[in-house]
Amino acid sequence: MGKSMGMIKRWHLAPVLLALLILGACSQGNQVTPLQLQVLQAGQQIIASKRSVKVERPPLTRSTLDAVEGSYIEAVVERRDALAYLHVDARRQDQHPGQITVWRTDDNVTLTMRNGVLIATRGLGGDLLSAQVPVRSGTLGPAHGGAHVMSLRSGANHQRRLSLACELIDLGPETVRIVEQSYSTRHLQQRCSGGGGEVVNDYWVDSSAGLVWKSRQWAGPQIGYIRFRRLTTD
């Protein structure tokens, strides 16, 4: 699967996050917790072998995440059973509604969102080059139904356009649990059709906190669905 698959693996823990975990432990004394040691050792095994060997990743804990500064998300590419942690690389506004947030791994895979809706990927192969999404300033996730237009990479220097007709359904309040912490959210579901198939995107939105805690979004026919969880905040 080439270089793109090397960028996100099930065992991969971004060295940026790893460094923060170890530094957080050092700032509290000279002892490193067993979990942090396991994470470090797993990362060292992969770096040393430079092979796609599946190494079991120790589970995250809230105490570990509490030692990390800044915003991180977890992303899982379902089709590849591939996982990575990404940090905020940039935030910006453009001429369209909603705030753009660029999330990046240490090896420069990027996932870009507008108000929590995925609008671009880079470094995964068959990337989502851009997307026009129905968002509104001050509203997280899709603001309403309507067209969801995607520009997708097709071959080395080609792209194709896929237009989906979507409806937005409010499935009501739902409590989500992420690494020992529960959050009150509203479950929004975007049901889309077009290009001979159907797509369902899910968003768990916490309007009071101004966050999408969890989502499952389709990034195109080659990448498929990506699951996101918000792990830490600024």
Residue ranges making up the domain that contains 7: 2-232
In terms of C-beta density within 10 A (0-12 exposed, 13-18 middle, 19 or more buried), how is residue 104 classed? Answer: buried
Q: Which residues contact residue 223 at a Cβ distance below 8 angstroms, ignoring those fewer than 6 apart?
A: 77, 79, 121, 124, 125, 126, 127, 128
Of the candidates 122, 145, 131, 146, the one whose C-alpha atom is nearest the C-alpha of residue 96 is: 131
Least confident of 22-31, 125-134, 171-180: 22-31
> How far is it, in rounded angstroms, from Cα 186 to Cα 207?
8
How many domains are there within the chain? 1
Q: C-alpha angle with apex 180: 20 to 141, nearest 5 degrees? A: 85
Amino acid at 206: D
Of the candidates 174, 193, 175, 122, the one whose C-alpha atom is nearest the C-alpha of residue 151 is: 122
119-164: pLDDT as tens digits: 999 999 899 999 998 888 888 999 898 899 999 987 777 888 999 9
| Token output for 70 | 């800044």
**Does the pLDDT value for residue 45 go beyond 70?**
no
| Token output for 168 | 């937005």
Quick one: pLDDT at residue 54? Answer: 53
Give the pLDDT band of residue 5 (cuts 50, 70, 90). Answer: very low
> How far is it, in rounded angstroms, from Cα 92 to Cα 172?
30
**Does the pLDDT value for residue 34 go beyond 60?**
no
- The two beta strands, 211-218 and 146-153, are unpaired
pTM of the model: 0.77
Sequential DSSP letters for 41-67: HHHHHHHHH-S----PPPPP-HHHHHT
* CATH code, 221: 2.40.360.10
